[in-house]
């Protein structure tokens, strides 16, 4: 139990510049508190997020990855980038287990610029869930090896 407490997951968030990054900003403006386990990497659109970025993050020891874009169907600033992200992340989730990673560590969320509280809730939730899963199994293997 005490081990679980000590473990602080590291989460990488790939957020599109327009709605989802704005949601994270609004969480700040509204002073909604959430655990500091997430580091955000900004991209212009969720359609830019290459599955290899996500895999790389897991390989480098991320305990969780959040991909967030603008709401389906029509909020994406670039018309349909969010649909592209949806396809890619869904496919990637299917194969993650083959790499030895629980698919629950990867989340795809749609956030609008007024959903600051939801962004915070998602982070809170992810941190909780990943704490239960424990550290990234790839990392654990490395330690063992």
Partner 1 sequence: MPEEKTDRKKIGAVLVVGGGVAGIQASLDLADSGFKVYLIDQGPSIGGVMAQLDKTFPTNDCSMCILSPKLVATGRHPNVTILTNAEITGLNGKAGNFEVKLRRKSRYIIEDKCNGCGICAQKCPIEVVDMYNEGLGKRSAIYVEYPQAVPLKYMIDREKCIGCGTCQEICKANAIQYDQEGSEATLEVGSIILAPGFEPFDATLKSEYGYGRFPNVVTSIEFERILSASGPYGGLVLRPSDGEIPKKIAFVQCVGSRDFQIGNNYCSAACCMYGMKEAVIAKEHTPSKLDATIFYMDMRAYGKEFDAYYERAQGEWGVRFVRSRVAGVTEDPKTGNLFVHYVEDETPRTEEFDMVVLSIGMQPPKNVEKLAERLGIRLNKYKFCETETFSPMETSKPGVFVCGAFAAPKDIPESVAQASGAAAKAMGIIASERGTQVTSKEYPPEKDVSKEEPRIGVFVCHCGINIGGVVNVPEVVKYAKTLPNVVYAEANLYTCSQDTQKLIREKIIDNKLNRVIVASCTPRTHEPLFKETVQEAGLNPYLFEMTNIRDQCSWVHMHEHEKATEKAKDLVRSIAAKAKLLKPLEKPIINVTPVGLIIGGGVSGMTAALELAGQGFEVHLVEREEELGGHLRKIQYLLEKKDDPKKKLDSLVKSVMENDRIHVYTGAEVVDVYGFVGNFKSKIRQQNGKEKEIEHGIVIVATGAVEYKPTEYLYGKDTRIITQHELEEKIAKGTFKAKNVVMIQCVGARNEERPNCARICCGQAIKNALKIKEASPETEVYILYKDMRAYGFKEDYYREAAMKGVIFINYEDERKPQVADENGKLKVTFWEPVIKEEVEVEPDVVVLSAATVPNPDNKHVAEMLKVPLTKDGFFLEAHMKLRPVDFATDGIFLCGMAHSPKYIEESIAQACAAAARATTILSKKSLEMEGIVANVSEDLCSGCRICEYLCPYGAVEMKDKDGKTLAHVIEALCKGCGACGTACPTKAITMGHFTTEEILAQVKATLLEAKA
> Could you tell which of partner 1, ligand FES, none binds residue 69, using a CB distance below 5 to 8 A set by kind?
ligand FES
Instruction: Assess contact for 54 and 106: CB atoms under 8 A.
Output: yes
Q: Which three-class secondary structure state does DSSP give residue 105?
A: helix
Q: Is position 76 an interface residue for ligand FES (rule: CB under 6 A)?
A: yes
Of 89-128, binders to ligand FES (CB under 6 A) are none
User: Residue 43 in contact with residue 21, Cβ under 8 Å?
Assistant: no
Count, residues in the chain: 145
Interaction site with partner 1 (CB under 8 A): 10, 12, 17-19, 21-22, 24-36, 39-45, 47-50, 52-53, 56-57, 60-62, 70-71, 74-75, 77-81, 84, 88, 112-118, 120
Report the alpha-carbon distance of residue 82 to residue 70 in Å, rounded: 6
Pairing of strands 38-43, 64-69: unpaired
Q: How many amino acids of this chain bind ligand FES (CB under 6 A)?
A: 13
Residues at the interface with ligand FES (CB under 6 A): 16, 18-19, 45-47, 69-70, 76-78, 81-82
């Amino acid at each position: 139990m005490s081990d679980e407490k000590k473990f602080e997951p590291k989460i990488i968030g790939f957020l599109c510049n327009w709605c989802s990054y704005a949601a994270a900003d609004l969480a700040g403006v509204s002073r909604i508190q959430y655990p500091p386990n997430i580091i955000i990497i900004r991209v212009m659109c969720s359609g830019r997020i290459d599955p290899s970025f996500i895999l790389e993050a897991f390989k480098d020891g991320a305990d969780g990855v959040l991909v967030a874009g603008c709401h389906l169907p029509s909020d994406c600033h670039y018309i349909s980038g969010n649909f592209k992200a949806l396809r890619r992340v869904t496919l990637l989730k299917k194969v993650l287990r083959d790499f030895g990673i629980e698919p629950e560590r990867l989340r795809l969320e749609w956030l609008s610029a007024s959903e600051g509280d939801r962004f915070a809730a998602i982070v809170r939730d992810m941190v909780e869930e990943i704490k239960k899963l424990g550290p990234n199994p790839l990392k654990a293997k490395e330690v063992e090896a």
